[in-house]
Amino acid sequence: MTSLKITGMTCEPCAAHIKAVLEKVPGIHAADVSFSHGAAQLDVEPGTPSEALTAAVAALGYRATLADAPASPDNGGKARGDGLHIAVIGSGGAAMAAALKAIERGARVTLIERGTLGGTCVNIGCMPSKIMIRAAHIAHLRRQSPFDAGIAASTPAIDRAALLAQQQARVDELRHAKYEGILESTTAITVLRGEARFHDARSLIVKRPGGDERVVAFDRCLIATGASAILPPIPGLADTPYWTSTEALASETIPERLAVLGSSVVALELAQAFARLGSRVSILARSTLLSGEDPAIASALTAAFRAEGIAVLEHTQASHVAHAGDAFVLATAQDELRADQLLVAAGRAPNTRGLNLDAAGVAVDARGAIAVDAGMRTNAPHVYAAGDCTDQPQFVYVAAAAGTRAAINMTGGEATLDLAAMPAVVFTDPQVATVGVTEAEAKQNGIETESRTLALDNVPRALANFDTRGFIKLVAEAGTGRLLGVQVVAPEAGELIQTAALAIRNRMTVQELADQLFPYLTMVEGLKLAAQTFSKDVTQLSCCAG
């Protein structure tokens, strides 16, 4: 008997198809193909070339190797993914990064998606929101800018339907270029439409759109199912036509009055965008804006929002929500708030409920997030997870990096993800950008710090822009001066934070940062100036002093 290892089968009919083809190959008397074992047992006449057997299987789109063939080592001497079948649940940033890296390392991938290809970021998250935010920024500048004395301002006419069409066209273009088109042209990745759940520790059941179910056996599995908006348990809320960010970004209208429940990233970005496009916006914050960040960030952002006419209601919660006569009524301890539309942006929960994780023995935390180690391994053998469905930070670039590392590890490599210098940006105006630790976090870790905060009226670029809202704060280790964290509120904070991240990654001291050359009249020069404040009074320097 001759044995073949076969990868790429996704169901029992696949095995039957392979069996029928193999038995037509000259020299094969009988073939027994097992989908569950990913193998075939062949009764073969002596002298039948093995290439004929593997070629027959390959012609069907599967991969076959002789069972006794040696594994191919990679350049590092470790076993690669040749012959492995990897199931990937999801098609967003983590899923695609993993699938592409896995096939690069010799594996075959079945990618399972229940909805639109591309996941949250390109379809209903990062891309459409940043387009809308940019449009709102342009509208704001036409209405008001620091140069109105010399450039006449005017109230812009907002055609939300036209803006939405432009936004959706770019989303569709990017989804096709970065997801659909790549998958269509990559034969080593099989896209299977349907909703997956674990059958056991080595197989999935996929419920297809038509209702039929298919079993997918795997050697390794990556869970990359993302997250969805949380609905707070506020009486009456579930019975109202509230918005999540998905509905808000797809709306063809700008409500006259918009109430926003939430005070973190999504809530604040969309609140300001709608305000700049014409809504009267009220934000209900249980604590303060971005309460998990340095308190100075909340103060600066609250002042900026209120200066634009956005009502920021701190330490305010809705105790009841009703909808009647085309209006929302929110009851709070302080007052009653009425709005034409309500945006609920109170966070996102991992999409793990329907996966039947118990069948595979995969552990989750109280939020339903999958616990992973630095290599994206779950507690269950052969099962990995990456992206917003895990206990890692919910950023698409973290998800993509995690997906790549998971694929390396699923195919015999060793890769980890270090988040110690992870930059983050909130795309409000001014923007908020952070990396490393805050003073409070350092103290919790038993680290003594020394900090400096530089107001933007000390940064020449901000002065030239006539926009000095915000600050740059550096947190350094006491004694050594090693940079530990940076917090920035500035109109272009997102464009300078990566420089800070690189400084932290390379264990630079504030003096080493101060000694670097920075181009004059850039916002990033503010990092140099902030670093110089540890040893001198920058108000007494010439404008471009080194």
What digits encode the pLDDT tens for the residues 233-245? 999 999 999 999 9
- Pair 223, 372 in one domain: yes
Q: What does pTM read for this prediction?
A: 0.84
Under 8 Å between Cβ of 126 and 118: no
- Pair 397, 443 in one domain: no
**Does the residue 431 lie in any domain?**
yes
**Does the residue 156 lie in any domain?**
no
**Does the residue 157 lie in any domain?**
no
- What is the C-alpha R_g of the chain? 28
**Does the residue 133 lie in any domain?**
no
**Does the residue 159 lie in any domain?**
no
Under 8 Å between Cβ of 188 and 109: yes
More confident residue, 21 or 163: 163
- Pair 259, 330 in one domain: yes
The residue-averaged pLDDT of 208-224 equals: 96
Q: Which of 1, 9, 132, 520 is catalytic?
A: 9
- Pair 197, 293 in one domain: no
**Does the residue 73 lie in any domain?**
no
Whichever domain contains 302, its CATH number is 3.50.50.60
- Pair 222, 359 in one domain: yes
- Pair 90, 190 in one domain: yes
**Does the residue 361 lie in any domain?**
yes
Q: Which of 127, 410, 523, 543 is catalytic?
A: 543
Among the three residues 329, 346, 363, which one is the final residue of a domain in this structure? 346
- Pair 211, 356 in one domain: yes
Left, alpha or beta for 444 (phi > 0: left; psi -120 to 50: alpha)? alpha
389 among known catalytic residues: no
Q: What total of structural domains would you count in the chain?
A: 4
- The total of other beta-carbon atoms located within 10 Å of residue 363's CB is 12
Q: Indicate the pLDDT class of residue 65, thresholds 50, 70 and 90.
A: confident
Q: Which of 14, 376, 389, 422 is catalytic?
A: 14
- Pair 197, 288 in one domain: no
- The total of other beta-carbon atoms located within 10 Å of residue 543's CB is 8
Residue 62 is predicted with a pLDDT of: 72
Cα–Cα distance for residue pair 309/66, rounded to 1 Å: 71
Q: Which of 96, 121, 221, 376 is catalytic?
A: 121
Q: Indicate the pLDDT class of residue 70, thresholds 50, 70 and 90.
A: very low
121 among known catalytic residues: yes
Q: Indicate the pLDDT class of residue 10, thresholds 50, 70 and 90.
A: low
Q: Which of 1, 96, 126, 127 is catalytic?
A: 126
What digits encode the pLDDT tens for the residues 278-291? 999 999 999 999 99
Q: What is the DSSP letter of 318?
A: E
221 among known catalytic residues: no
- Pair 11, 53 in one domain: yes
What digits encode the pLDDT tens for the residues 353-368? 999 999 999 999 999 9
- Pair 371, 262 in one domain: no
**Does the residue 388 lie in any domain?**
yes
Lowest mean pLDDT among 60-64, 141-145, 464-468: 60-64
Among the three residues 346, 378, 394, which one is the final residue of a domain in this structure? 346
- Pair 193, 318 in one domain: no
Containing structural domain, residue 379: 85-119+170-229+349-410
The residue-averaged pLDDT of 60-85 equals: 61
- Pair 220, 99 in one domain: yes
Whichever domain contains 522, its CATH number is 3.30.390.30
1 among known catalytic residues: no
Q: Is the pLDDT of residue 349 over 90?
A: yes
Among the three residues 346, 361, 387, which one is the final residue of a domain in this structure? 346
